[in-house]
Structure 1
Amino acid sequence: MCGRYAATKDPATLMAEFDAVDGTEGHAPSADYNVAPTKKVVSVVQRHPREADGTVLDEEPAVRSLRVMRWGLVPFWAKDPAIGSRMINTRAETATEKPAFRKALSRRRCLVPADGWFEWRAAEGGGKKAPKEPFFMTSGDGSSLAFAGIWETWRDPKAAADDPPLVTCSVLTTDAIGRLTEIHHRMPLVLPRQRWDAWLDPDRTEVDGLLAPPDLGFVDSLELRPVSTRVNNVRNNGPELVERAEPEPASLDGGLFEVPNPS
């Protein structure tokens, strides 16, 4: 977890919800009800302005903006960007200890807006090969959830100097709490609105206190909605994937059963 989520709001809606300006430059992905690793996603960052040569203007107020990134963190030192497919999630408990995540956690934090995320629960009484039941975790009132994330930029050493870098992100995860434990033992680090400012603060490099899970009341307010196994197929996409549905056999998913591995 988190290996699949839904993100359907346009930049104008996210700008209002997150009090941000649009920095997507017209490249924001369209509504996606089945966001999978390595896809382009919209994230929220807060940065101080820079001079044309890249010098950071620390004395200027930080600006919150929407940015387009690829889901799956590629560290700046990576030799191959393919590593990003294995780094879609970052465990909050060990992030400060891992070289791949430590610097980004200190200086490049972001929020990843989502309508909600998908998780799979093992069927009651079933064995290891029993089909899993998909659920959609959502606010239920239409407001976005905000996953705590980190981001990085990576430059291909063979690329031209003026080629744009690859910007990637990873979603932090933590132990599930409250009713979410009924579905899975892990969950994304979902931040309530009152924690957004601290998480995005570019001047805060110490992360003590930032990685705490949300309070139980916030988590238990989420709707845990059973949905169709059509979401198992990454090729399926549409509003029917997030609609409430009765459990159904995995054979009805359309032929490509791809439940993400837990992390």
Structure 2
Amino acid sequence: MCNAYGFNAPISRLIDVFRQLDLPMTWAEGSVPNLPPRDLIRPTDPAPVLRPLAPAAAGEGVVFSEMRWWLVPFFHKGGVKDWKALTTNARSESIDTTATFREPYRRRRCLVPATHFFEWSPLDPARPKGPKTRWRVTAAGEEIFFFAGLWDRARPAGHEGALESFALATCAAGADMAPHHPRQPVILTGRQAVDWLRLDGPGKALLSPSPAGTLHVAAD
């Protein structure tokens, strides 16, 4: 389970990535945002998200906006703090059947840009609640990568306007992560990222562990 990540790259690099993918990029606020480096993004923080301009036509381009990390589903009518379920992550095995995630999976997929994420493992496996090592994980040879994400729009009681929020898809750990944690966020690069946004695309087939040698894991 991923509960911390970061995005330290300048916004110009993100623009370059989508230019190379031949995918137009626009801005929800109408202009390029002043996005400071964020080494640590935690649940409930606002974070950059990219979603299709047209849900049924991912090839038309993506729009950049910021959303709350910790998905609150459209059917929740209570206050934001009344939503207690830990929906920062969506398990790939049940992403299309779980009540909270099945509609976003069918209709509202997104990409979450990152430069790294963090995971923790106990120093002593016999003491899982004891001191832990924090691991910093990056994509080998890639400054920027994307988490496969889902987003939703709710109208919680007491919240001014709509609340847009997102979750990260997770899967079993690949060979690089398995020594440190049993699961990992789903990481997409290049055309995989575009294919995830396509509602008529591979879908769950993309939600697989990272191949050996594609992640770099170092004690932080």
Q: Is the pair's TM-score, using the shorter chain for normalization, greater than 0.5? A: yes
Q: What is the CA distance between 1:9 and its match in structure 2?
A: 2.4
State whether residues 122 and 132 of structure 1, in contact with CA within 8 Å, keep that contact through their aligned partners in structure 2: yes
The answer to whether residue 192 in structure 2 is matched with residue 223 in structure 1 is no
Once residues 42 and 98 of structure 2 are traced to their aligned partners in structure 1, the CA distance between those partners, rounded to angstroms, is 24
Evaluate the alpha carbon distance shift between residue 207 and residue 60 of structure 1 in structure 2; reply closer, same or farther with a 3 A threshold: closer
Tell me what 1:173 maps to: 170
Q: How does 1:51-200 map onto structure 2 within 5 Å?
A: 62-79=60-77, 80-82=79-81, 83=83, 86-124=86-124, 126-141=126-141, 143-156=143-156, 164-200=161-197
CA-to-aligned-CA distance 1:121-167 (integer Å, 9 cap, x gap) = 111455234201001000254511210000001124566xxx64211
Change (3 A) 1:210 1:125: closer
Query: Which protein is richer in strand relative to its size?
Result: 2
Higher gyration radius (CA)? 1
1:64, CA displacement in angstroms? 1.4
Matched, 1:33 2:39: yes
Q: Percent identity?
A: 25
TM-superposed deviation, 1:44: 1.3
* Alpha-carbon distance between aligned partners in 1 of 2:84 and 2:63, rounded to the nearest angstrom: 23
Structure 2 residue aligned with 1:6: 6
* Alpha-carbon offset, residue 10 of structure 1: 3.4
Please state how far the C-alpha of 1:213 moved relative to its aligned partner: 3.3
Residues 216-258 of structure 1 deviation map (CA, whole Å, 9 limit, x = unaligned): 24xx22211111xxxxxxxxxxxxxxxxxxxxxxxxxxxxxxx
Unaligned ranges ≥5, structure 2: none
Post-superposition offset of 1:210: 3.3
Residue segments in structure 1 that go unaligned for 5+ positions in a row: 49-55, 228-263
Offset of residue 65 of structure 1 = 2.0
Distance 2:50 2:131 in 1: 36
TM-score w.r.t. the length of structure 1 is 0.72
CA distance in 1, matches of 2:204, 2:167: 19
CA distance in 2, matches of 1:169, 1:208: 17
Cα RMSD over matched residues?
Answer: 2.6
Aligned length: 212
**Does the C-alpha gap of structure 1 residues 59 and 92 become closer, same or farther in structure 2, counting only changes over 3 Å?**
closer
What are the Cα deviations for residues 20-40 of structure 1, in whole angstroms up to 9, with x where unaligned? 424142666521111100001
Q: Deviations along 1:163-187, whole A, 9 cap, x unmatched? A: 6421100001111010210110010
- Pairing 1:21–2:21 present: no
